[in-house]
C-alpha cells in the first residue's frame, strides 16, 4: 500500500524543499533516520532538470563519451562496444563516443540509459545540485536513469550513501524497505509520478519493479561527512609528531606488558596534544575544502570577460547564479571561498568583500564607504568578475 500523502505546498524556494516539502521538518525528523516519500505538487515536476527531449539531445548531438554514460539491461552492464564507436577530434583518435543509432536500438529493446555525473555537463542539474549542497553542507552528485516501457527493474539493493530519487518524467514503481536505523516495518510500495521524490538514508534496501511505461528519474547521491572525519583530521595533525616515528623496542614480544605500559603513556601524551589543538582550525580546513572544491558554474564567463574594460563605478554587478562567496579571516590573510576555488587577499579588503557577500547586486561605486579608493574598487570589481563571482549587468 502506498504511503504517499498528496498535500498542497507553497513555493519551493530551495532544492531541498523540492525534495522534501518542508526542509526544517525533514532535517529534524527524517534526515539520516528513515526513508520517506514526498509527493510533489508542481505541475511540471522536475521537468526543468531533465526531459526526455533533453536526453535525446544529450545522447544524439553532444558527442557524449564514456564514462559519462552507460547502458544496462535487467541490472547487467551492456559492453561499451555495443553502443560506442571510435572517432577523431582534430587529428587525435577518440574512443568511447556515443553511437546514437545503436543506443536507440538497445533502448527500444529494453536497455536503460544511465547518464553518469550529469551535474558535470548538464547545467540545470549542476545548478540544482549546487543549491542542495549549500543547504546540506555535504557533497552531492547526480545520475539519471532513463528506462523504456517493459524493462526489468533492478533487484533489491542498497547504496553506500544517502539518496534522493527525483521522478523527472513518466512513472516508476518502487519498493522501499526500512532504513538501517528505522524500526522494522512492511516495505513501502509506491508509484512515483513527475515531481515525486524518495529519500533513502545510506544502506536502505530498495528496488524498482518491472517498468510498464517510460520513466526518467534522477538519483542524487549525498556523500555525508561524519564526525569521524573531523576527528581523523584532528588526529592527522597529532600523528605527525616526530616522537611517533621512533621504532618499537627490539624484542618487545618478550615483554608485551611493558610495551602496553609505554603505549598507555604515549596515548595519554597524544590525547593531551590532541586536546591542545584548536578545533576551529580543523573545522575551517573542512569548510575551505567544501566551499572551494565544488564543480564550477561559469556559464557566460567568456562574455563577461569582454566587458572588463567597460567596468567603472557606474557598473551594476550581480552575483552569478549559484555562486558562493564566503569570506574568512585566517591569520593575516582574507580567504574568500567561491565554491570551486578560493582567493587569498589582504585583510583590509574584508569590509568590501563582506558587503559584496551580503548583496545579490550592487553598483560598484556603492563600495566607496568601505573602500574609498576608486582604483582599488575598480581592481576588486574586475577581479571578482574574472573569478566568476560577479557579472556586469548590461
Query: What pLDDT, in 10s, does the model give residues 341-370?
Result: 999 999 999 999 999 999 999 999 999 999
Calpha distance 61→202 (Å, rounded): 36
Fold classification of 15-222 (topology level) = Jelly Rolls (2.60.120)
Evaluate whether 374 touches 322 at the Cβ level (below 8 Å).
no
Q: Using DSSP, how many helices (H) and how many strands (E) does the chain show?
A: 11, 19
What grid cell was written down for 380?
576588486
pLDDT attached to residue 109: 94
Query: What pLDDT, in 10s, does the model give residues 138-153?
Result: 999 999 999 999 888 7
- Domain residue spans in the chain? 15-222, 237-277, 301-392
Ramachandran sector of residue 223 (left: φ over 0; alpha: ψ -120 to 50; beta: rest): beta
Evaluate whether 197 touches 165 at the Cβ level (below 8 Å).
yes
pLDDT attached to residue 8: 34
Evaluate whether 17 touches 46 at the Cβ level (below 8 Å).
no
Query: What pLDDT, in 10s, does the model give residues 252-267?
Result: 999 999 999 999 999 9
Calpha distance 233→285 (Å, rounded): 9
Evaluate whether 156 touches 176 at the Cβ level (below 8 Å).
no
Confidence band, pLDDT 50/70/90 cuts, at residue 2: very low
Mean pLDDT of the chain: 93
Query: What pLDDT, in 10s, does the model give residues 296-313?
Result: 999 999 999 999 999 999
Residue 322 has pLDDT above 70, yes or no: yes
pLDDT attached to residue 394: 83
Output phi, psi for 170, to 5 deg.
Answer: 70, -160
CATH 3.40.50.2300 corresponds to the domain 301-392? no
Q: Do domains 15-222 and 301-392 have the same CATH topology?
A: no
pLDDT attached to residue 5: 33
Count the residues in the chain: 394
pLDDT attached to residue 236: 92
- pLDDT (average), residues 111-119: 97
Q: Which residue has 542524487 as its cell numbers? A: 220
- pLDDT (average), residues 157-171: 96
Q: Which residue has 589582504 as its cell numbers? A: 346
Residue 125 has pLDDT above 50, yes or no: yes
Confidence band, pLDDT 50/70/90 cuts, at residue 13: low
Residues 6+ apart with CB under 8 A from 160: 202, 203
- pLDDT (average), residues 171-184: 94
In this structure, how many other beta carbons lie within 10 angstroms of the beta carbon of residue 49? 24
Strand partners, 164: 199, 220
Query: What pLDDT, in 10s, does the model give residues 214-249?
Result: 999 999 999 999 999 999 999 998 998 898 999 999
Rounded to a whole number of angstroms, the CA Rg of the chain reads: 26
pLDDT attached to residue 211: 78
Amino acid at each position: 500500500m502506498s504511503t504517499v500523502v498528496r498535500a498542497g505546498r507553497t513555493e519551493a524556494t530551495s532544492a531541498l524543499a523540492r525534495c522534501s516539502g518542508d526542509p526544517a521538518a525533514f532535517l529534524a525528523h527524517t534526515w539520516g533516520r528513515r526513508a520517506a516519500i514526498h509527493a510533489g505538487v508542481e505541475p511540471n515536476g522536475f521537468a526543468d532538470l531533465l526531459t526526455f527531449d533533453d536526453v535525446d539531445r544529450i545522447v544524439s548531438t553532444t558527442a557524449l563519451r564514456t564514462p559519462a554514460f552507460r547502458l544496462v539491461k535487467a541490472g547487467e552492464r551492456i559492453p561499451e562496444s555495443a553502443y560506442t564507436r571510435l572517432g577523431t577530434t582534430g587529428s587525435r583518435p577518440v574512443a568511447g563516443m556515443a553511437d546514437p543509432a545503436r543506443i536507440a536500438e538497445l533502448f527500444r529493446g529494453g536497455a536503460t540509459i544511465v547518464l553518469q555525473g550529469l551535474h558535470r555537463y548538464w547545467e540545470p542539474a549542476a545548478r540544482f545540485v549546487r543549491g542542495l549542497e549549500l543547504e546540506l553542507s555535504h557533497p552531492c552528485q547526480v545520475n539519471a536513469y532513463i528506462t523504456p516501457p517493459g524493462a526489468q527493474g533492478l533487484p533489491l539493493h542498497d547504496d553506500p550513501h544517502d539518496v534522493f530519487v527525483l521522478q523527472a518524467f513518466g512513472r516508476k514503481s518502487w519498493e522501499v524497505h526500512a532504513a538501517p536505523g528505522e524500526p522494522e516495518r512492511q516495505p513501502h510500495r509506491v508509484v512515483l509520478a513527475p515531481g515525486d521524490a524518495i529519500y533513502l538514508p545510506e544502506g536502505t534496501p530498495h528496488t524498482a519493479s518491472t517498468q510498464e511505461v517510460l520513466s526518467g528519474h534522477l538519483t542524487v547521491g549525498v556523500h555525508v561527512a561524519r564526525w569521524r572525519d573531523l576527528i581523523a583530521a584532528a588526529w592527522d595533525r597529532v600523528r605527525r609528531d616526530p616522537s611517533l616515528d621512533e621504532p618499537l623496542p627490539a624484542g618487545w614480544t618478550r615483554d608485551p606488558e611493558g610495551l602496553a605500559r609505554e603505549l598507555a603513556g604515549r596515548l595519554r601524551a597524544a590525547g593531551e596534544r590532541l586536546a591542545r589543538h584548536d578545533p576551529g582550525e580543523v573545522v575551517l580546513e573542512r569548510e575551505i575544502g567544501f566551499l572551494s572544491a565544488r564543480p564550477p558554474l561559469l556559464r557566460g564567463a567568456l562574455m563577461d570577460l569582454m566587458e572588463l574594460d567597460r567596468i567603472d563605478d557606474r557598473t551594476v554587478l550581480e552575483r552569478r547564479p549559484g555562486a558562493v562567496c564566503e569570506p574568512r579571516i585566517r591569520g593575516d590573510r582574507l580567504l574568500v571561498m567561491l565554491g570551486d576555488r578560493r582567493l587569498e587577499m589582504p585583510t583590509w579588503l574584508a569590509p568590501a568583500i563582506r558587503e559584496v557577500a551580503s548583496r545579490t547586486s550592487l553598483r560598484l561605486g556603492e563600495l566607496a564607504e568601505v573602500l574609498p579608493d576608486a582604483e582599488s574598487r575598480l581592481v576588486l570589481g574586475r577581479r571578482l568578475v574574472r573569478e566568476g563571482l560577479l557579472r556586469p549587468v548590461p
